[in-house]
Amino acid sequence: MSTEFSFRTRAENIENLKRQPLDVLVIGGGIVGAGLIRDLALNGGIRAGLIEQQDFASGTSNATSELVHGGFRYLLNRDIALVKEARREREILLRIAPNLVKPLPIVILCYKGERYPLFGMHLAAHYYNHLSKADRKEKAYALRDSRKIQQLVGPVETEGLKGCVVIWDSNVDDARLTLLTIRSAHHCGAIVTNYVRFLDFLVTSVGGQHKINGVLAEDVMSGDRFEIHAKKIVVAIGPWTDRVWSKDPTYDGEPKLTTQKAKGTHLLFPQIGNSQYGVLAFTHTETQQRREPRVLFILPAEHALSMVGTTESDPEDFPNRVRPSADEIEYLIAEASRVFPHAKMSRSNIISAYAGVRPLAATEGDGFVSRAHKVFESQSGVMYTYGGKLTTYRKIGEEVVNRVSEELQLPRNCQTETLKLVADEPKRFESRLLAKVDQQRLNERYGFGTAHIEKLIQQDATLADRLVESLPFLKAEVLYACHEEMVIKLEDFLWRRTRIGLTKGQGISQAPDIARLIGQVCGWDISRTNAEIEQYIQRIQWLNAEI
């Protein structure tokens, strides 16, 4: 099978979806949908397809804290089952995506007057890391000496600092994890495509019973509408799920999601503290207002940046229309500045910012909202996934495919726990055309795909030039993303295939050159190229409106 995963692949897959009925159709190309389609494709004997109305990982899955973690705060709230599950899933991800999921020590600061005493935090941290057997070096420990703490993480506030505990989680490029999971499914025969929108269900009614056997879909790029037939449909679209279920004729009218505290906002600053450690602190704003304290993350990010997050606020708009608000920005700056008082954080030195909506499953009462997932099946036969988080996406897929296989009476062979993601099988590749630093980075990022990039550079040596002087990305990587990563729009490359959109300048200066490179591969005319540039600039300006 060809490894190509391009705009041509997309066109072929749309034609296949039109002509050939599926066993299972997955709606949603975020991380949960990606996990589902990969499991289906690896299982064997299941003809599976996936549609995503925008780009892969364009929603919540590209707006996380970029952590693969058990959720230490859930342990404090006694959500033990979720923490155990997440710690196990972290171990699995460290095995199947070792060049994406990187161990990260996180220092939890404990100040005088806070709810959780240092001794109790140390016991909880020891138990937390005991749940993971990923590496014997990952030992939780406590420190009381403020000077040693500063040597570890940088110039944190020491007044009232009782000490800290150190735990181990992992960081990950969330959008890239999603993309490579979907690409793995493609390589195993799944029919996947981005920019195809679900419009409605295809319903047959017999004897008063409604059965759904497909969907009406639309090619977002061309406007063409077509039917996709499938024996089973699984909806995995996070905070949009209730809206799709409402089109199901057997919908009970009961929302399964909650928007309360569902919005998360993150800010990117020039590097704060030590780039080898993450910092976690409990917020004081809520404590002063006699509310439950929240968790503030200050995490190392790529390209000498630090990420500050996250909020838990109520989204003021549709999930695809959320952006950082003025209040959220001030809140995060105030809390982070309390922890790192000499960092001089302000609106003026924010590099970039983003926001997303968590798919929180509704629970009874006003207590703690768990990130545990739920799976419902309507009377019409459609399965809907709710809740969950980045860390547990694989487990959600396994659970759903277990049920689907049993219902369709198909053999079950889950392999997602052991098989590495196809694109990330490392390959030592040396090229005379590439600098040593580029070889190492490309081998880790693209694995076997590095050979493709080198071939492009052999054909045109200028493709070894950098896109941005301060960033490592080469021009050849744009072409590679078009050929092998299904880039359809300029924003796909700048915001999700790379993180250029999160770095200084957010890629606006480079947008024209990158758009022309994409256009050369995808056959854009000057009108389409100019439109892509303008759409990207407008998107960034809208996102930054409150900064």
Residues sharing a CB contact under 8 Å with residue 469, sequence separation 6 or more, in sequence order = none
Element (H, E) at 82: helix 80-96
In angstroms, how far is CA 319 from the centroid of its own chain?
A: 15
**CATH fold match for the domains 7-60+175-254+371-408 and 73-171+259-357:** no
SS3 at position 320: helix
> pLDDT per residue over 102-120, tens digit each?
999 999 999 998 988 999 9
Contact 487, 481 (CB under 8 A): yes
Establish whether the linkage from the previous residue to 503 is cis, with ω within 30° of 0. no
Nearest of 96, 47, 95, 34 to residue 486 by alpha carbon:
34
Contact 67, 168 (CB under 8 A): no
Q: How far apart are CA 520 and CA 512, in angstroms?
A: 12
Q: Where are the domains of the chain?
A: 7-60+175-254+371-408, 73-171+259-357, 426-543
Contact 130, 194 (CB under 8 A): no
216 is written with which tokens? 């009406």
Contact 218, 194 (CB under 8 A): no
Mean pLDDT by runs of 10 across the 547 residues of the chain is 84 97 98 98 94 97 94 82 91 93 96 90 88 78 95 96 95 96 96 98 89 97 98 96 94 88 95 95 83 91 95 87 95 96 94 95 64 90 93 96 94 93 56 76 86 91 92 96 98 97 96 98 97 98 94
Contact 25, 228 (CB under 8 A): yes
Q: What pTM was estimated for this model as a whole?
A: 0.95
Q: How far apart are CA 96 and CA 92, in angstroms?
A: 6
Q: What is the DSSP letter of 494?
A: I
The tally of CA atoms less than 13 A away on the side-chain side of residue 180 is 27
Task: Give the helix, strand, coil percentages of the chain, each rounded to 5.
Answer: 40, 20, 40
Top-level class of domain 73-171+259-357: alpha beta
Q: How far apart are CA 311 and CA 278, in angstroms?
A: 17
As its CATH architecture, domain 7-60+175-254+371-408 has 3-Layer(bba) Sandwich (3.50)
